[in-house]
Structure 1
Amino acid sequence: MKNILLLIILFCSGLLSAQNEVVTPPEKVKFTFEKEYPNKVPVWSIDYVGDDNDEIRYEAKFNTDKNTKALAVYDNLGVLKAFEQQIPLSQLPQKAQNYLKKNYSQKAIKEIAVVVNDKNKTTYEVGIEKDSKFYDVVFDQNGGFDVIIEKN
């Protein structure tokens, strides 16, 4: 019985330590990041995307200045797939600001970001907390409402 309990404890601690693993991206990815964002210190993570979660994305979280957070997403060849940066409410297009004022309280807004993808398409994502759930409200480049996505 002691052996089974010991095995369970070892298994659980192994799972926990694997979750804190440091991610080191390929040299191409690191080189591209350092070229685009010199003197920035990223925290790397991995995300799996695609129909079968068969594509790897390397995500670099970093600060553009002392108050602004950013995220750069690369494929395994070092190609930038998306860039996301925090912005204040005042930098949202007026149309998006009006939508938010009409539909949500100021307290519900938790974060705001501008996102540019690899096709140079700009969108705005606003993190909203409502009824103990978290949502991303997405607007197009002109501030027109696009979609609400529930986050887990």
Structure 2
Amino acid sequence: MKNVFLTFVFLCTSFLLAQEGNTMKKVVTPPEKVKLAFEKEYPGKTAVWSEEYVGDDNDEIRYEAKYNVNNTTKALAVYDNLGNMKAYELQIPLSQLPPKAQAYLKKNYAAKAIREIAVVVDYKKITTYEVGIEKDSKFYDIQFDKDGGFNVIVEKN
């Protein structure tokens, strides 16, 4: 009986450790400069912060602030460690995609495959659209330019 109990504890512990290693992003507290930049840009909004390492050698930190614009719309603001905004992503409905992008999606994907739609503005003020699609149990981001022209499909993990 003791061996069964120890085996059970070992399996549970292993499972929990494996799950912990699979977490997407850890919730963090950003530097004061980053928090102040967010509060200035989005007064009264409460964000859940995470960090991500980017760059060729994963040597740059980005702080991501996820927050609710209203009861039905979510947004993401991305900052560097000095508080400079690097990107902004806003959840939008299909009807706000450019007609060209809507036509591409209608032609190539079932409506139920669309999981999320967002408009993205980067630090250079370049606007793109990203549509999350699930197909064959895989998740893809389809990216369109500001006019709705197809750019690329990126497989997500």
* Cα distance, 1:21–1:89 mapped onto 2, change above 3 Å: closer
Please, which runs of 5 or more residues in structure 1 have no aligned partner?
A: none
- In structure 2, the residue matched to 1:112 is 117
| 1:36 aligns to 2:41 (yes or no) | yes
Q: Give every structure 1 segment of 4 or more consecutive aligned residues whose post-TM-superposition deviation is greater than 6 Å.
A: none
Q: Residues of 1 paired with 2:94 and 2:128: CA distance? A: 14
Q: Deviations over 1:62-94 (max 9, x none)?
A: 001110000000000000000000000000000
Identity %: 69
Please, which runs of 5 or more residues in structure 2 have no aligned partner?
A: 1-5
RMSD, matched Cα: 2.3
TM-score, normalization: structure 1?
0.88
TM-superposed deviation, 1:16: 3.8
Q: Residues of 1 paired with 2:32 and 2:51: CA distance? A: 15
Select 1:86's aligned residue among 77, 81, 91.
Answer: 91
- In structure 2, the residue matched to 1:132 is 137
Q: Residues of 1 paired with 2:119 and 2:26: CA distance? A: 29
TM-score, normalization: structure 2?
0.86
Q: What is the total number of aligned residue pairs between the two structures?
A: 146
Q: Secondary structure at the match of 2:58?
A: coil
Q: Deviations over 1:86-128 (max 9, x none)?
A: 0000000000000000000000001000000000000000000
| 1:54 aligns to 2:68 (yes or no) | no
Q: Deviations over 1:37-66 (max 9, x none)?
A: 011000000000000000000000000111
* Cα distance, 1:108–1:21 mapped onto 2, change above 3 Å: closer
